[in-house]
Structure 1
Amino acid sequence: MSRRAAHIEDLAGEAVMLAAGGRAILLQIANEGVGHGVADHSDFAYRSVDRLRTTMTYIYAVVYGTDAERAAVVRMVNKAHVKVRAENYNAFDPALQLWVAATLYESAVSLYERVFGPLDDADADELYREYAVLGTALQVPPGMWPRDRVAFAGYWKEQLDRVEVDAKVRATSRDLFHPAAAPMLIRANLPAYRWLTTGLLPAQLREQFELPWTARDQRRFDRVMTLISWVYPRIPSAVRHAPRTVYLWDMRRRLRTRGGIEA
Structure 2
Amino acid sequence: MTHTDSGSPGGSGAGATSPGGSSSRPGAEDGTTPLFGPGSRFHAFFNDPRWALAIVRATVLEAAHPQIGAALIDNSTFVVHPWRRLRNTLVSLQRMFGSDEHVRQREAARLNRLHARLHGTDADNRPYDAMDPDVRAWVVATLFESAVTMCRLSGQPLEQEAMEQLYAEFQAFLAAFGDAAGHLPPSPHEFWGYYDRVVEEELENTEAMRIILYKLFDHLPAPPLLNGLPTLWAAGRTVTGPLIGAITVASLPEPFRRRAGLPELPGAQTLMQGAYFTAGLARFLPDGWINTESITDLLALSPDSDDPRARTISALRDKMNRAGALLRLITPLPPEPEPTTAHGGLRRSAEEFFGEVLDQTGNGYLDWPDLAAMARELSSRLDLDEPEETRLYDAFADWWRELQAALDTDGDGRVSAHEYAAAVPSLAGPALIKVAEVLFDATDKDGNQTIDADEYRALFRTAFHRDTAGTEPAYTRSAFVKDFLSFMSGRRHSTPYDPLLAQA
TM-score range, shorter chain: 0.7 to 0.9
Match of 1:153 among 178, 192, 198: 192
Quote the Cα distance in structure 1 between the aligned partners of 2:148 and 2:293.
17
Match of 1:24 among 58, 61, 67: 58
For residue 162 of structure 2, what is the aligned residue in structure 1?
Answer: 123
Residues 116 and 60 of structure 1: is their aligned pair in 2 closer, same or farther, counting only changes over 3 Å? Answer: farther
Match of 1:236 among 256, 278, 286: 286
Residues 53 and 102 of structure 1: is their aligned pair in 2 closer, same or farther, counting only changes over 3 Å? Answer: same
Contact 1:29 1:38 (C-alpha < 8 Å) held by counterparts: yes
Quote the Cα distance in structure 2 between the aligned partners of 1:47 and 1:244.
18
Report deviation, 1:39: 1.7
CA-to-aligned-CA distance 1:44-88 (integer Å, 9 cap, x gap): 333222222222222221112523432343344334323321151
Quote the Cα distance in structure 2 between the aligned partners of 1:102 and 1:248.
28
CA-to-aligned-CA distance 1:204-226 (integer Å, 9 cap, x gap): 34445554323422233333444
For residue 223 of structure 1, what is the aligned residue in structure 2?
Answer: 274
Quote the Cα distance in structure 2 between the aligned partners of 1:114 and 1:16.
10
- Kindly provide the amino acid, as one letter, of the partner of residue 59 in structure 2: I
Match of 2:217 among 171, 177, 180: 177
Match of 1:258 among 455, 458, 467: 458
- Kindly provide the amino acid, as one letter, of the partner of residue 204 in structure 1: P
CA-to-aligned-CA distance 1:174-224 (integer Å, 9 cap, x gap): 443344534355972433332332232223344455543234222333334
Q: Secondary structure at the match of 1:237?
A: coil
Report deviation, 1:12: 4.1
Larger radius of gyration: 2
Residues 215 and 192 of structure 1: is their aligned pair in 2 closer, same or farther, counting only changes over 3 Å? Answer: closer
- Kindly provide the amino acid, as one letter, of the partner of residue 190 in structure 2: A
Q: Secondary structure at the match of 1:144?
A: coil
Quote the Cα distance in structure 2 between the aligned partners of 1:138 and 1:197.
29
Residues 46 and 57 of structure 1: is their aligned pair in 2 closer, same or farther, counting only changes over 3 Å? Answer: same
Match of 1:204 among 244, 251, 255: 255
- Kindly provide the amino acid, as one letter, of the partner of residue 21 in structure 1: I
User: How many aligned positions are there?
Assistant: 256
- Kindly provide the amino acid, as one letter, of the partner of residue 284 in structure 2: R
For residue 213 of structure 1, what is the aligned residue in structure 2?
Answer: 264
CA-to-aligned-CA distance 1:67-124 (integer Å, 9 cap, x gap): 3432343344334323321151111111100000110111112102333522222222
Report deviation, 1:21: 1.2
Contact 2:249 2:262 (C-alpha < 8 Å) held by counterparts: yes
- Kindly provide the amino acid, as one letter, of the partner of residue 243 in structure 1: T
Q: Secondary structure at the match of 1:204?
A: helix
- Kindly provide the amino acid, as one letter, of the partner of residue 213 in structure 1: E
TM-score by length of 2: 0.45
Contact 2:247 2:271 (C-alpha < 8 Å) held by counterparts: no
Contact 1:8 1:127 (C-alpha < 8 Å) held by counterparts: yes
Q: Secondary structure at the match of 1:118?
A: coil
For residue 176 of structure 2, what is the aligned residue in structure 1?
Answer: 137
Report which of the two has the higher share of helix. 1
Contact 1:74 1:138 (C-alpha < 8 Å) held by counterparts: yes
Quote the Cα distance in structure 2 between the aligned partners of 1:211 and 1:161.
14
Contact 2:41 2:165 (C-alpha < 8 Å) held by counterparts: yes
Report deviation, 1:146: 1.3
- Kindly provide the amino acid, as one letter, of the partner of residue 86 in structure 1: G
What RMSD, in angstroms, separates the aligned Cα atoms of the two structures?
A: 3.5
Residues 98 and 9 of structure 1: is their aligned pair in 2 closer, same or farther, counting only changes over 3 Å? Answer: same
Match of 1:70 among 96, 104, 121: 104
Q: Does 1 or 2 have the higher relative contact order (CA < 8 Å, sep 6+)? A: 1
Quote the Cα distance in structure 1 between the aligned partners of 2:78 and 2:162.
35
For residue 72 of structure 2, what is the aligned residue in structure 1?
Answer: 38
Contact 2:49 2:279 (C-alpha < 8 Å) held by counterparts: no
For residue 246 of structure 2, what is the aligned residue in structure 1?
Answer: 195
Residues 123 and 219 of structure 1: is their aligned pair in 2 closer, same or farther, counting only changes over 3 Å? Answer: closer
For residue 114 of structure 1, what is the aligned residue in structure 2?
Answer: 153
Quote the Cα distance in structure 2 between the aligned partners of 1:15 and 1:254.
30
Residues 168 and 123 of structure 1: is their aligned pair in 2 closer, same or farther, counting only changes over 3 Å? Answer: closer
Quote the Cα distance in structure 1 between the aligned partners of 2:86 and 2:243.
17
Mark the runs of 5 or more structure 2 residues left unpaired by the alignment: 1-38, 122-126, 227-232, 301-379, 384-453, 462-499
Match of 1:89 among 125, 128, 144: 128
Contact 2:66 2:206 (C-alpha < 8 Å) held by counterparts: no
Q: Secondary structure at the match of 2:267?
A: helix
Quote the Cα distance in structure 1 between the aligned partners of 2:253 and 2:181.
28
